[in-house]
Amino acid sequence: MRSNKGLTLIELLVVVVIVGILAAIAVPLYTGHMQRARRSDAKTALEQVRAAQEMWRAEKGRYSSSQAELQTTMGAPATNIGTFYTWSFTATGDTAWIAQATAQGNQVSDGNLTINQDGLKLPAAKWGN
């Protein structure tokens, strides 16, 4: 009698199909997880901008109108949040401002995030509110 050593073509095809199914499930899950992690980095950066603005207001009696002031004096994060977001803000007089994290690259489909002096976070669904 001959002993069968190795795999038949059918067995090999079954293994390839199973690996393909597992990859079809795992890749979208991984992509979604990475998108949420990058969004979390942007949310953290905007919260740091808000904290820096509040510290500035506590010291000066008004909000800062300079991104550089916030970064050098109050420890606001770097303008680039990784390679997937950048943040900027616009001051409206001494009493109001709005900061935005603009999505870039693969993150564009996720959209931008904003926060203002009152802590209003938009879009709320992306912030988990």
Contacts of 75 (CB under 8 A, 6+ apart): 48, 52
pTM: 0.79
Distances (CA, A) of 34 to 18, 41, 100, 101: 24, 11, 20, 17
What integer pLDDT is reported at residue 129 of this predicted model?
56
Considering only residues 3 and 14, tell me which one the structure prediction assigns the higher pLDDT. Answer: 14
Domain boundaries, the chain: 9-127
Residue 11's alpha-carbon distances to 2, 5, 6, 14, 18, in angstroms, are: 19, 13, 10, 5, 11
| pLDDT, tens digit (0-9, with 9 covering 90-100), for 48-105 | 999 999 999 999 999 999 888 888 888 888 889 889 999 999 998 889 999 999 999 9
pLDDT digits (tens, 9 = 90+) for 33-46: 999 999 999 999 99
Supply the pLDDT for residue 1. 61
